[in-house]
């Protein structure tokens, strides 16, 4: 990358030099040099610039060749790595194939070395089959009997539970009806008790009022009777004459 950047910079510099050269040539041609020394100097300048351009081109080509050599070296190294990896993979695959072939050959040898077992006796197999079939039939019969017993028990338990539920439902209905009757009776008695308590409170208040009025009337009556006696008023006028006679007797 550094070499490529250098080449680009060098190309730009050469382009700038060429542009300057053309502009200077135009300027020289326009002004028409006055003397021969100026012409010689111009020729020398042109030769120097031509030499510089040649040097720049050689340097550019050299850097380009170096870049190409580096890229070629990288490609060669990459190819070497690929060849080395391919060689290793081929060796590994060859080793695996050899081991697989050896294992397959050993398996085939073992297969031919193992002797097949003789076929079982037909009578023996039939007898064993009959015994197994009889055993399964007995177990099936026992399971069927157990199933029938459980069905009968289930039917009996279901009927018993249904009767029990019916009885409990009837008891609940009777109990609920009885509770409603007792609740009504309780409400009736509670109303009567409240009425009786109200009556007792009202009667006690009335008796208290009557007792208070009676006591007040007794006090007023006593006070009035005493006043009448002291002043000899009303039914006690005769006491006035008796008082006067008593006073005269004292004199």
pLDDT digits (tens, 9 = 90+) for 231-240: 777 677 766 6
Residue 51 is predicted with a pLDDT of 75
Token duo for residue 98: 């050899």
Residue 206 pLDDT: 93
Residues 222, 148 share a domain: yes
Is residue 145 domain-shared with residue 251, that is, in the same domain?
Answer: yes
Q: Determine, yes or no, domain membership for 118.
A: no
Whether 12 and 72 map to the same domain: the answer is yes
Average pLDDT over residues 50-58: 75
Query: pLDDT tens digits for 104-129?
Result: 888 877 777 766 666 667 777 888 88
Same domain (yes/no): 99, 201: no
Q: How confident is the model at residue 67 (pLDDT cuts 50, 70, 90)?
A: confident
Could you give the number of structural domains in the chain?
Answer: 2
Q: Give the model confidence (pLDDT) of 156-166 as tens digits.
A: 999 999 999 99
Can you give the pLDDT at residue 135?
A: 92
Residue 120 lies in a domain: no
Residue 158 belongs to what domain range? 136-251
46 found inside a domain: yes
Specify whether 9 is located in the same domain as 51: yes
Domain identity same for 69 and 172? no
Residue 71 φ/ψ, nearest 5 degrees: -65, -40
Residue 243: pLDDT over 60 = no
Domain stop point among 50, 82, 113: 113
Same domain assignment for residues 146 and 49:
no
Measured in whole angstroms, the distance separating CA 132 from the mean position of its chain's CA atoms is 57
Note whether residue 208 is domain-resident. Answer: yes
What's the token pair of residue 158?
């279901």
Tell whether 90 and 173 lie within a shared domain: no
Contact 61, 4 (CB under 8 A): no
pLDDT tens per residue across span 179-231: 999 999 999 999 999 999 999 999 999 999 999 999 999 999 888 888 887 77
Inside any domain, residue 122: no
Cβ of 236: how many Cβ atoms within 10 Å?
A: 14
Q: Which residues contact 177 (CB under 8 A, 6 or more apart)?
A: none
Helix axis angle, 2-31 relative to 36-113, nearest 10°? 160
Kindly report, residue by residue over 20-44, the tens digit of the pLDDT.
666 665 665 555 545 556 666 767 7
Question: Does the pLDDT of residue 246 top 80, yes or no?
Answer: no
User: Does residue 124 belong to any structural domain of this protein?
Assistant: no
pLDDT reading at 248 higher than 60 = no
pLDDT given for residue 66 in this prediction: 78
Q: What is the pLDDT of residue 185?
A: 93
Instruction: Tell whether 62 is covered by a domain.
Output: yes
* Residues 187 and 244 placed together within one structural domain of the fold: yes
* 56 in a structural domain: yes
Euclidean distance between the first and the last CA atom of the chain, given in angstroms as a whole number = 172
Last residue of a domain, one of 113, 144, 175: 113
pTM (global) more than 0.85? no
Among residues 113, 148, 175, which one ends one of the domains?
Answer: 113
Residue found by looking up tokens 């300027």 in the block: 27
Instruction: Tell me: do 185 and 234 sit in the same domain.
Output: yes
Q: Are 17 and 53 in contact (CB under 8 A)?
A: yes
Q: Would you state the pLDDT for residue 31?
A: 57
Q: 141-159, pLDDT tens digit by residue? A: 999 999 999 999 999 999 9
Is the same domain home to 103 and 195?
no
Q: Are residues 149 and 43 in the same domain?
A: no
What pLDDT is recorded for position 39? 64
| pLDDT of 202 | 94
pLDDT value at residue 1? 47
Long-range contacts of 114-117 (CB under 8 A, 24+ apart): none
3-state SS string over the chain?
CHHHHHHHHHHHHHHHHHHHHHHHHHHHHHHCCCCHHHHHHHHHHHHHHHHHHHHHHHHHHHHHHHHHHHHHHHHHHHHHHHHHHHHHHHHHHHHHHHHHHHHHHHHHHHHHHCCCCCCCCHHHHHHHHHHHHHHHHHHHHHHHHHHHHHHHHHHHHHHHHHHHHHHHHHHHHHHHHHHHHHHHHHHHHHHHHHHHHHHHHHHHHHHHHHHHHHHHHHHHHHHHHHHHHHHCCHHHCHHHHHHHHHHHHHC
């Amino acid at each position: 990358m550094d070499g490529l950047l250098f080449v680009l910079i060098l190309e730009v510099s050469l382009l700038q030099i060429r542009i300057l050269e053309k502009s200077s040539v135009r300027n020289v041609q326009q002004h028409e040099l006055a003397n021969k020394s100026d012409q010689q100097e111009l020729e020398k300048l042109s030769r120097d610039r031509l030499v510089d351009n040649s040097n720049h081109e050689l340097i550019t080509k050299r850097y380009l060749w170096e870049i190409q050599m580096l890229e070629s070296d990288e490609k060669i190294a990459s190819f070497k790595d690929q060849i080395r990896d391919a060689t290793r993979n081929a060796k590994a695959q060859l080793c695996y194939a050899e081991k697989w072939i050896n294992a397959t050959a050993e398996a085939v040898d073992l297969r031919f070395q193992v002797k097949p077992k003789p076929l079982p006796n037909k009578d023996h197999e039939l007898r064993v089959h009959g015994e197994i079939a009889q055993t399964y039939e007995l177990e099936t019969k026992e399971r069927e009997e157990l199933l029938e017993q459980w069905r009968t028990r289930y039917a009996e338990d279901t009927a018993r539970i249904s009767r029990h539920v019916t009885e409990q439902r009837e008891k609940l209905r009777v109990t609920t009806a009885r509770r409603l009757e007792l609740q009504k009776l309780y409400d009736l008695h509670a109303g009567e008790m409240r009425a009786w308590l109200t009556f007792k409170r009202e009667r006690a208040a009335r008796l208290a009022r009557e007792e208070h009025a009676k006591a007040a009337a007794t006090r007023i009556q006593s006070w009035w009777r005493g006043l009448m006696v002291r002043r000899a008023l009303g039914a006690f006028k005769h006491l006035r004459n008796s008082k006067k006679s008593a006073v005269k007797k004292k004199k």
